[in-house]
């Protein structure tokens, strides 16, 4: 009876160890989803005079105080990508111009960007997925 118990205990420990290793792998390394966001090559003039790309971004942020709050409240893994999308979609050509942004998270899922448009990929691993779920749960009732 003691030998069977030891064998069962060993099998249980091996299964537990394998589950732990699999959990660590899926949480830290496995990419569950890759979000594709595209920044269009076409832009819209927003009639603000500017001297540089930074000047445009500053003027837009002055007129939209909720953007920094939105960035600060977003999951950590998304903050840099949101800033990157913001920076790539706003530029100066005598007046400020804004490029349209489309793709995952912007109304529809896409397989690729249109020719000439810039692609930004956001890989979501297990830990980022957990962050995103917590963020969605915390903000589900806010308008």
Q: Which residues contact 130 (CB under 8 A, 6 or more apart)?
A: 27
DSSP 10-38: HHHHHHHHHHHHHHHHHHHT-EEEEEEEE
User: What string of pLDDT tens digits covers the 143 residues of the chain?
Assistant: 688 889 999 999 999 999 999 999 999 999 998 889 999 999 999 999 999 999 999 998 887 878 888 888 888 888 888 899 999 999 999 999 999 999 887 667 788 899 999 999 989 999 998 888 888 787 766 65
Q: Residue ranges per domain, the chain?
A: 31-139
Q: Which residues contact 118 (CB under 8 A, 6 or more apart)?
A: 38, 39, 41, 88
Comparing CA positions, the residue from 71, 91, 69, 66 lying closest to residue 82 is 71
Tokens of 10: 């060993």
Rounded to 5 degrees, φ, ψ at 46 are: -105, 15
């Amino acid at each position: 009876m003691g030998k069977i118990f030891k064998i069962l205990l060993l099998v249980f420990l091996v299964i537990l160890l394998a589950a732990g290793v699999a959990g660590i792998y899926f949480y830290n390394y496995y990419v569950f989803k890759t979000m594709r966001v595209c920044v269009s090559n076409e832009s819209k003039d927003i009639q603000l005079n500017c001297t540089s790309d930074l000047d445009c971004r500053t003027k837009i942020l002055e007129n939209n105080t909720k953007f920094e709050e939105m960035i600060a409240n977003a999951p950590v893994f998304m903050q840099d990508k949101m800033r990157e999308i913001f920076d790539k979609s706003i530029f100066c050509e005598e007046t400020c111009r804004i490029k349209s942004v489309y793709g995952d998270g912007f109304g529809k899922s896409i397989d690729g960007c249109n020719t000439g448009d810039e692609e930004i990929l956001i890989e979501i691993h297990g830990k980022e997925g957990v962050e995103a779920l917590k963020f969605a749960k915390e903000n589900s009732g806010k308008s």
